[in-house]
Structure 1
Amino acid sequence: MSRHRKSEVLASSIISSTNNALARLMDIWDGLGIKEEKRLWRIGEVKRHIEEMFNNMIKEELELKDRIEKSIQICRKEIRVLCYELSLEEYKEEDGMTILQIEKDLRVRLEILMKQKNDRLEELKILQQQDQKLCSELCVTPYYIPSGAIPSQKQLEELREHIKVQTEKKKKLLADFSALRADIRQFLDKIGRQPETTLEQDAVCEDEEAFFLTSSNVSALSVLKEQLECKIEQLLSTLNELKRKVIGLWDLLQIPQDEREVCENISQCPIYEEIKVWENELSRLEELKVTNLKQVILKIREEINTHWDKCFYSDEQKKVFAPFYSDDFTEDLLSQHDEEVVRIKQQFDKCSSILEAFAKWETNWAQFVILEKKASDPGRFSNRGGSLLKEEKERVKLQKLLSKLEEDLKPRVETWEAENGSPFLVRGIKVFDYIGNQWESLKQQKEREKQDRTQKKEDTVFKTPVKRPAVSCAQNTPNNKTRKLNGTTNVTLSRTTVNSTSANQTSAGKPQLPTIKTPLKTKDTPVRTPLHDSNKQTILLSNQPSSYSEFKEEISKKSSGKDAIFNSTVNENF
């Protein structure tokens, strides 16, 4: 309000000054005696000058106003364009501002937007240079921003991220390239050849910038590395096969150790050179083998026989290979033996797990049979060192182990038979038929031994030893005497009466032996024998259990009722 008042006061003062100036002019004109007509002309000139001055001023101010308004329109238009190009929101003017304030505010805003535009373009230029360089090295497409367009903040951020990703990718590709180059160089040196293809030459070159670090090129190097690895594996396989053949011929031909060391001490050479050395040695040995056909064939036969035994061949299966029994030692016979060696080794390798499992079963079976025989020996009860219990524990342990081995063997055999469509044979018959036959044979043998012991007891005839006669002496056995026999039934022994008769002298003067009368044995009468140490041992042995299982059953019997039998004693009445 103060500004308006000052301008109004100033305007009023202009009017007052004009009135004062006109009054003085009037006074001057009056003093000069200028007539009315001249006064009117002069006042008209004054008016014209004042109006012209005011009109010029008004015109200039109007032109200024027009320029300001045009500037405002231009600034507004440019600001709208810049906001659009810079992806900014449209600028909104504040309310209540004068034209001059609006024009000033728009000019300031326009300057800010122009600076922001220039900054973005400058940053875009720098980022595009970096991106172009990286993409040229990696052979990828740069980040696309339309030429002449002002990038948005989002586009600049995406461009920065793109450069960051490409930088990381370059580092990774460079690291992969360095590692692959080192491996390829090592493989080429190991193989012993120079780089041949362009890719191999680029891979081993010293200048890293000469190689385009693209994903496809690095992938190609990776493929090249895998190819070289496969090549090395093939060469090593060839070398190992050569070594195997050479070592086999060394053993067959009995080559001395000093000749072998020539080939064995070249492991530091490239594989190509090492293969050549072993190939030359193999050729030399093949020629030497031809000159020693008989010895070589006999050595191979030993090897074949060893593998036959490993595969549990029967005699009939061995006879199928007729050249084994030929005496015509020719190169053709040697070739047939070599083929048989390869065949039997392949067969063994194909089912080695089953054969090893069966061999383990057979080893434990042999130990089990030995312990079974010991368990059936009556004389084992005389043992006082505790080995009887140890043997029984070992026998039970082996029996469980055999069952477990058979259970583990069954699925393997069934799988093998399903895959090959033929039965798995050991010693000419199916493996489980063979195992079943072994168990059945052991069972039958135990039955036969049991029957033999039973028959032996039935056929045993007790002979009473004789004593020299005493004059008028009759030896009686006291009644109610009890003898303890281990594991036997109650046996009542009667006294034997020895009648002494008068000695009939022979021509040599020796007395005749007395006759001993033994009671007849009937179905209902118990066995009665004279009391004598040797006779007692015969009774004990004949009544011993036939196996450890029967012995345990006798020990574990309980006494009950009238027919009770003590575990380790038997009452004998004399």
Structure 2
Amino acid sequence: MTILQIERDLRVRLELLAKQKNERLEELKILQQKDQELCSDLCVTPYYIPSGSIPSLVQLEELKEHIKVQTEEKRKRLQVFSTLRAEIRQCLNEMGRQPENSLEQDAICEDEEAFFLTPEPYQAITAYPKSLELKKEALLSTLKTVSEKVQSLWELLQVTQEEREACQKISGMSIFEELRMWESELARLDELKMANLKQVILKIREELKDYWDKCFYSPEQRKEFGPYYCDEFTEDLLSQHDEEVVKMKLLYEKCKLILDAVAKWESSWTQFVVLEKKACDPNRFSNRGGTLLKEEKERAKLQKLLSKLEEELKSRIDTWEAEQGRPFLIKGSKFMDYVATQWELLKHQKEREKQDRAQKKEETTPFKTPVKRPGGPCPQVTPSSKSRKLNGTTNSTMSRTNVTHSSASLTTQLLSL
């Protein structure tokens, strides 16, 4: 090739390379602008290409891939933000609250682009619904506590059903508004309670006695709460009763399973004692229609149930005592001691009833003195003399019978003493 041809080819080649250079620089400029915007939103480092250099095809492809990844990351964050924003709005509406700080305002803003998706705000907005949920749960817990107090005072003050329904008709209220309504009702009832101290305290004492019965408190344990027997009805006495009721309520709820099992044992024991008395009744054989057999089956069934309940309760109470570090008392005694005492009392009662029946039988049976017949033929007596003899014998026998009865009665009284 001549020099002119070589020069012409080089000029064509130069123009082609210059065109490629401009195209790459133009594409780099556009890509870097997109990358810079994405990285600014996401607060990440842009893809680095030395300034003043011409990017290679590989660098351009890597930059495109970097932009693609950041675009997807932004889409995910926006999607998460949109979901969280809906949850936050709903939670705030339910709680009846307005945005209190810039984070809450940004969280419920309409413009998604106005919220920066940088790591710090993004992490904060991600954790914010959890904190709101905790506040909501605390608000609901307070609402439940206040409503329970109101319902308890309704029962205590015997509030009419119409007044209760008027307060319970709640529709479209937020949790905050509902709480304010219940707090207002509680304040009204507190004022009413203070105006009727005596009636309220007497009502609380009934409730306290009911819990004592459920917890099988002995008379000694009940006497430990001195204010129960005080007749000076004051605010301090009312607060003491309230505290004792709360204490007994917590104790009952804590031991409810055990106490319910003990109540079942008590009920079964009462039925068993009744059947035991019937089994010892001498007149039981006069029953007809299979009643005796039914009672015997029921008695055997109850005896088996009592034994099973005693074993289960012993295991539960041992576990409870190991956890609490104190004895579990039923009417002032340990449960197994209480059970043993009941069985012993039943045994003594049966023996006493048996002795009473035997003594009663002795008292009702007249003593007969044996009469010795004389030997030889019977003498002939006239009817009149025979009548006189019989009358005399009868009078003598009755006198001896009366003396026997008096002796037996005196002996019974001495034995009882």
Question: Residues 161-217 of structure 1: CA distance to partner in whole angstroms, max 9, x if unpaired?
Answer: 655554444343323222222222222222223211000111111111111234543
Query: Aligned pair 1:249/2:153, yes or no?
Result: yes
2:316 to 393, 408, 412: 412
Q: Who is 1:287 aligned against?
A: 191
Letter in 2 for 1:312: F
CA–CA distance in 2 between the matches of 1:431 and 1:232?
A: 44
Q: Who is 2:103 aligned against?
A: 199
Matches for 1:163-562 after TM superposition, within 5 Å: 163-381=67-285, 383-446=287-350, 505=383
Counterpart contact for 1:505–1:512, Cα < 8 Å: no
- In structure 2, runs of 5+ residues without a counterpart are 369-377, 392-417
Which fold has the larger relative contact order, with Cα–Cα distance below 8 Å and residues 6 or more apart in sequence?
2
Letter in 2 for 1:407: E
Judged with a 3 Å threshold, the aligned counterparts in structure 2 of structure 1 residues 308 and 209 are, in CA distance, closer, same or farther, namely same
Judged with a 3 Å threshold, the aligned counterparts in structure 2 of structure 1 residues 278 and 454 are, in CA distance, closer, same or farther, namely same
Counterpart contact for 2:278–2:284, Cα < 8 Å: yes
After the TM superposition, which of the residue ranges 128-137 and 421-430 deviates more from structure 2? 128-137
Judged with a 3 Å threshold, the aligned counterparts in structure 2 of structure 1 residues 115 and 275 are, in CA distance, closer, same or farther, namely same
- In structure 1, runs of 5+ residues without a counterpart are 1-59, 75-106, 465-499, 514-574
Judged with a 3 Å threshold, the aligned counterparts in structure 2 of structure 1 residues 116 and 337 are, in CA distance, closer, same or farther, namely same
Q: Who is 2:408 aligned against?
A: none
CA–CA distance in 2 between the matches of 1:506 and 1:368?
A: 63
**1:273 alignment partner, SS class:** helix
Letter in 2 for 1:318: R
Counterpart contact for 1:304–1:340, Cα < 8 Å: yes
CA–CA distance in 1 between the matches of 2:26 and 2:307?
A: 87
Letter in 1 for 2:263: A
Shift in Å, 1:356: 2.1
Shift in Å, 1:416: 2.7
State TM-score, norm by structure 1. 0.55
Letter in 2 for 1:416: W
Shift in Å, 1:291: 2.0
Counterpart contact for 1:267–1:274, Cα < 8 Å: no
Question: For the aligned residues, what is the CA RMSD?
Answer: 4.5
The percent identity for this pair of structures is 63
Question: How many corresponding residue pairs?
Answer: 380
Q: Who is 2:394 aligned against?
A: none
CA–CA distance in 2 between the matches of 1:445 and 1:180?
A: 74
Q: Who is 1:543 aligned against?
A: none
Matches for 1:143-182 after TM superposition, within 5 Å: 143-144=47-48, 148=53, 150=55, 162-182=66-86
Judged with a 3 Å threshold, the aligned counterparts in structure 2 of structure 1 residues 264 and 113 are, in CA distance, closer, same or farther, namely same
**1:422 alignment partner, SS class:** coil
CA–CA distance in 2 between the matches of 1:143 and 1:206?
A: 31
State TM-score, norm by structure 2. 0.73
Counterpart contact for 1:184–1:203, Cα < 8 Å: yes
Shift in Å, 1:130: 4.8
Larger radius of gyration: 1
Question: Residues 268-288 of structure 1: CA distance to partner in whole angstroms, max 9, x if unpaired?
Answer: 323333333333322222222
